[in-house]
A and B are shown apart, each in its own frame.
Chain A
């Protein structure tokens, strides 16, 4: 069974009498351990697709089956529970909670799951290690650089070991060098930790890292064949 099956997904917005349809009967299947990138012009609906997939927005019509469950039919509360267990969300701007330390930010998703304090500590240690920020655990977001903040955001997204990790332009706010580091990190999530990844990006270089590359235009989703992911990894290293 595929991990995610999106069927006939349509999303319309009406703004001042005018209706726009960023997603028009879109179909997509995601298998476990897939690494997808999504590109498209600004305003084409990339974020919208991501938001529907993570259940923070609702489609106009269509289905999103995750593990066979249609999440478009869940209540707000059930959706929240579902996200806590299944979704890791990496934002463009890290969106860390400013009054909490890096450690406490990463801990947040774990607080929603049935888990002992010891188990939480262990998972946070692993996540911090994965983003190479063990020595910054007690720093507050304002004491971190942009790249470090984004790494904390990534640690927070992966700490609960979610079914799917999504990222909406995770390098959009960073300089090229830092962006390269972040991209490498994201690749490793897929290559080494076997996480299913869905990354929205404007950067063709970043997109080429993914095994499956999607393009969104005029409400339609098109998939193109990928270049070898290893080559892309090298490209990322060179940039860094």
Chain B
């Protein structure tokens, strides 16, 4: 079965310039495919039913950008009285950019005493007591920390807000790692914010058997006569609606991913066709020596597969590295889609490159196997 492996490898190596060009071009295409798939995966993660569907977000009606939502802070007290509500966390959100952005910075101001209960954060450096002790302290998600090169003890300014980094955290929810947590009152008092007594949103944790939609409706009804009307949704729905147009854009970007696969196919197929046409006589000689047509077919297929798998290894590996290292995110309206490497992505990439490699090799392999031995040998 594998006795002819050296022949396959040496055939590719024999044309290493051509092979290298094909592999590198294919690797780039697979890298792009990988990034596009990561964006899609990040979006799917937002939409996936999870604890995000056991949390409600109370926002000002008809608003999505955090800058435009202002709710009285004492709504928290009113909401806590609604049946089905376990706890309420007031959150002040400040972002440098409400539009779609690749380097969105989002501050979440939360009462320090409530932060640990509301969020599942794992401190990688710094300490939580340091965060509690200083009003301008911030816990920074590791994706932001990496992107901006932030370390504990440094201070960091966005717009008119300056915070001092008290810790860097990781979270099982990848999007969280793009956020920066501060004290609620600090963010309310921050220069130019003028938000004392108001919050951007209220996060409601549901009681065990409470129905999310019914509770949301009850909250909106309870606040109907307050100074500001609210719209309450599950966190999942809220994020999806906030992402809105961006999701459509991402759906479109998927076609870019498919186009990359088309590119991989044509690159590998072109090279394999060339390799076969170069060696019509060689394949005839092999058959004269006693290789079955099916064996020649498999050898050509193997060449095609080895190239696409090598490119896959390179492209996907590079993609994982890039995604893991830079902690990219795409964000809009204060909601972040985290791009992160995952086993699923790696496996998808490997399977896709193998499948495309095999597909690209089929026609040339068939051509090589069908070689008319005598006619091919008669060629000069």
| Interface, chain A (partner B; CB < 8 A) | 51, 54, 56-57, 76-77, 80-85, 87, 89, 91, 95, 97-100, 104, 108-109, 111-112, 156
B291 pairs with A56, CB closer than 8 A: no
A81→B291 CA distance, assembly (Å): 7
Smallest Cβ-Cβ distance to B374: which chain A residue = A57
A87 pairs with B290, CB closer than 8 A: yes
Smallest Cβ-Cβ distance to A86: which chain B residue = B290
A97 touching B282 in the complex, CB below 8 Å, given contacts A56-B373, A91-B377: yes
* In the complex, chain B residues 264-305 whose Cβ is within 8 Å of any chain A Cβ: 281-282, 285-295
| Interface, chain B (partner A; CB < 8 A) | 3-4, 6-7, 10-11, 13-14, 281-282, 285-295, 373-374, 377
B7 pairs with A77, CB closer than 8 A: no
Leading 4 A-B pairs by shortest Cβ distance: A84-B290, A99-B14, A56-B373, A83-B290
B3 pairs with A95, CB closer than 8 A: no
B7 pairs with A97, CB closer than 8 A: yes
Ordered by A's residue number, 16 sampled pairs between the chains whose C-beta atoms are within 8 Å are A51-B374, A57-B373, A77-B293, A77-B294, A80-B290, A80-B291, A81-B292, A83-B288, A83-B290, A84-B289, A89-B289, A95-B281, A100-B10, A104-B6, A104-B10, A111-B4
A83→B287 CA distance, assembly (Å): 9
A99 touching B288 in the complex, CB below 8 Å, given contacts A57-B374, A76-B293: no
Interface class of chain B by DSSP: helix
A96→B282 CA distance, assembly (Å): 8
Interface centre among B3, B281, B288 (most CB of A within 10 A): B288
Other than the given A56-B377, A112-B291, 10 more pairs (CB < 8 A) read: A54-B288, A56-B287, A56-B374, A80-B291, A83-B290, A85-B290, A89-B288, A95-B281, A95-B282, A99-B14
What residues on A are CB-neighbors of B295 within 8 Å?
80
B7 partner, pick from A51, A80, A84, A100, beta carbons under 8 A: A100
Q: How far is the CB of B290 from chain A (nearest CB, A)?
A: 3
A99→B6 CA distance, assembly (Å): 10
Q: How far is the CB of A88 from chain B (nearest CB, A)?
A: 9
A136→B282 CA distance, assembly (Å): 22
What residues on A are CB-neighbors of B377 within 8 Å?
56, 91, 95
A112 touching B293 in the complex, CB below 8 Å, given contacts A51-B374, A95-B281, A97-B282: no
Smallest Cβ-Cβ distance to A52: which chain B residue = B374
Q: How far is the CB of A98 from chain B (nearest CB, A)?
A: 7
Q: How far is the CB of A72 from chain B (nearest CB, A)?
A: 15
A104→B3 CA distance, assembly (Å): 11
What residues on B are CB-neighbors of A91 within 8 Å?
285, 377
What residues on A are CB-neighbors of B293 within 8 Å?
76-77, 80
What residues on A are CB-neighbors of B6 within 8 Å?
100, 104
What residues on A are CB-neighbors of B285 within 8 Å?
91, 95, 97
Q: How far is the CB of B19 from chain A (nearest CB, A)?
A: 12
What residues on B are CB-neighbors of A77 within 8 Å?
292-294
A100→B282 CA distance, assembly (Å): 12
B290 pairs with A81, CB closer than 8 A: yes
Q: How far is the CB of B7 from chain A (nearest CB, A)?
A: 7
A80 pairs with B4, CB closer than 8 A: no
What residues on A are CB-neighbors of B287 within 8 Å?
56, 80
A76→B287 CA distance, assembly (Å): 10
Smallest Cβ-Cβ distance to A112: which chain B residue = B290
A112 touching B7 in the complex, CB below 8 Å, given contacts A91-B377, A95-B281, A99-B14: no
Interface centre among B14, B285, B294 (most CB of A within 10 A): B285
Interface centre among A89, A91, A99 (most CB of B within 10 A): A99
What residues on B are CB-neighbors of A98 within 8 Å?
14
A108 pairs with B374, CB closer than 8 A: no
B286 partner, pick from A76, A81, A99, A108, beta carbons under 8 A: A108
Q: How far is the CB of B368 from chain A (nearest CB, A)?
A: 13
Interface centre among A87, A97, A109 (most CB of B within 10 A): A97
Q: How far is the CB of A86 from chain B (nearest CB, A)?
A: 9
Q: How far is the CB of A135 from chain B (nearest CB, A)?
A: 22
B10 pairs with A99, CB closer than 8 A: yes
A98→B10 CA distance, assembly (Å): 10
B374 pairs with A99, CB closer than 8 A: no
Q: How far is the CB of B119 from chain A (nearest CB, A)?
A: 60
A100→B299 CA distance, assembly (Å): 15
A80→B295 CA distance, assembly (Å): 10
B289 pairs with A112, CB closer than 8 A: yes
Interface centre among B3, B282, B290 (most CB of A within 10 A): B290
Q: How far is the CB of A58 from chain B (nearest CB, A)?
A: 10
